[in-house]
Amino acid sequence: MAADDVLDPAVVAGLRAAQEDFANPTLIRDLVGLFLTRTPGKLDRARLALAAGDAAAVREVAHSLRSNCGMLGAVGMAAACGRLEDAAARADLQSAAAALADVESQLPAVLSALSAL
């Protein structure tokens, strides 16, 4: 799958422009690095919270992940995180489990696309 199929090209272009505007040649690398290192732990927390029936904790993690995905242009994964957040807000743990599975299924392609930046 091509990076353009996973990441919104307009968001990536905005990140590149910000990198130039701020004269920070490592901005994208730093943001991607944070995402790569923090996302697996967040997904672990979401899984544990879901297993414990803690909808509020699932919602909190989903909100954070949605923001991170959106900032980096991973719009499909951000949308899945939004569905996870909405399900958790309704305390619909069955729908939250399905949404979390969707988030996790998208992660490899997102990580690959981000690594290619």
One DSSP character per residue, 28-60 reads HHHHHHHHHHHHHHHHHHHHHHHHTT-HHHHHH
Q: How confident is the model at residue 117 (pLDDT cuts 50, 70, 90)?
A: confident
| Contact status, residue 80 vs residue 62, Cβ threshold 8 Å | no
Q: Is the pLDDT of residue 4 over 80?
A: no
- Kindly state the average pLDDT of the residues 74-101: 97
- In this predicted model, what pLDDT tens digit does every residue of 10-32 receive, in sequence order? 999 999 999 999 999 999 999 99
- For the entire predicted model, the pTM comes to 0.91
Q: Which position has the token pair 């979401």?
A: 46
Q: Decide if pLDDT at 1 tops 70.
A: no
